[in-house]
Chain A
């Protein structure tokens, strides 16, 4: 089966998650959250969410507790850097041990 079956006559794309693949595989270090230090968890109400605000990848959910989609997180470390309570630590992928 050739490409003619796609019926396109010009380069016309449709939206999809993971256009560049599982970009989580790019990571050299991963964000590890200590939820007990996270402000929205401690206050138990929507607050702070600076990690959500500044994430370039839109992989953080503005929930309590926050969730990070590690399938696509590229590990830039902005969330850890911007977290005012030090709840997120970047851990080198090689050193990371699942607990």
Chain B
């Protein structure tokens, strides 16, 4: 049976009254990740918005065990959980490392590369809000070209983002998927599939961020949808190296075409005043990346 809004599990593991900003894309994603994990998991979380979501001692807003860890150490910390559980004979628990784009693309990439090369048995989730949102929206290596951040305040970022799933692909991990909270069933199914695999698994989730991207809180789901429909984000999975477009990206590929990138960025304050050159370059980059996906699909 296809997963849909009607048969997604009712039970919530994310408790109301937590500390995220209103309209948080990560919150939506986390609800479905936790549902897919069914509570039988331990998560390692570095400094990030997820730390804020989990709350402050002595109370937490999440119904699975969590260990807060040093910023660069997510994947190594997850490796430690795996090793400890294995040494104690507890192999039924899913271990998850869960970091933001800064914690993955930048400060955490060394530990992640090391763990993936070792094939450490956990699911690594990068939730990508495309800047250091928790510290006040500084540029990360996942910030797209032209976006203004606290550290690219005038000109906007002048480089393209780093394609993290491709870097993970180079590690030959057993499962890679991209996802977006605007498509919860797609995200849920990918988490369920990841759970059945062994070794390092990598899920990259694009999470729209109202305060960081500068759009109204009501538009989070719309922004994720537009990201996919313009090709700024593509939904796909790679099972043992075999690439497949999924969900909305697949239907766009089969029966339509991408919307112009301008439709997406005009709704976000971070792109306000983007230069014509940058906009053109961004569209060229999207087109070329999309052509690459179509070729592989």
Contact = CB atoms under 8 A, between A and B. Distances in A.
Q: Indicate, yes or no, whether A interacts with B.
A: yes
Interface of A: 6, 8, 11-23, 26, 46-50, 52-59, 62, 69, 71-72, 74-78, 80-82, 90
13 contacts: A13-B55, A13-B59, A15-B60, A17-B16, A18-B16, A19-B18, A53-B8, A57-B16, A74-B22, A74-B23, A75-B22, A76-B217, A81-B221
Given A53-B184, A77-B23, A77-B218, A11 B18 contact: no
Contact of A76 (B15, B23, B61, B62): B23
B58 A62 contact: no
* Chain A to chain B: the 6 pairs with minimum beta-carbon distance, closest first: A77-B218, A18-B17, A56-B27, A19-B55, A76-B23, A72-B16
Contacts of A57: 16-18, 27
A49 B6 contact: yes
A46 to B, nearest CB: 5
B28 interface: yes
Interface string B13-57: 011111110111101100100000000000000000000000111
Contact of B5 (A18, A49, A74, A90): A49
Contacts of A11: 57-58
B17 A78 contact: no
B230 interface: no
Contacts of B15: 15-19, 58
B213 to A, nearest CB: 14
A47 B20 CA distance: 28
Contacts of A72: 16-17
Contacts of B8: 53
Main secondary structure of the interface of B (DSSP, over half): loop
Given A15-B61, A54-B28, A76-B217, 8 more contacts: A16-B60, A54-B220, A56-B20, A56-B220, A58-B14, A78-B23, A81-B219, A81-B222
Contact of B216 (A17, A19, A47, A77): A77
A22 B217 CA distance: 19
Contacts of B216: 77
B5 A56 contact: no
Kindly name the residue among B16, B181, B216 whose own CB sees the greatest number of chain A CB atoms within 10 A: B16
A63 to B, nearest CB: 10
Contacts of A78: 23, 217-218, 220-221
A21 B5 contact: no
B17 A21 contact: yes
Contact of A20 (B6, B12, B19, B222): B19
Nearest to B210: A76
A82 B210 CA distance: 16
Given A6-B58, A58-B12, A76-B22, A17 B17 contact: yes
B220 A16 contact: no
Kindly name the residue among A12, A15, A62 whose own CB sees the greatest number of chain B CB atoms within 10 A: A15
B17 A22 contact: yes
Kindly name the residue among A21, A55, A76, A77 whose own CB sees the greatest number of chain B CB atoms within 10 A: A76
B85 interface: no
B63 interface: yes
A1 B61 CA distance: 27
A76 B184 contact: no
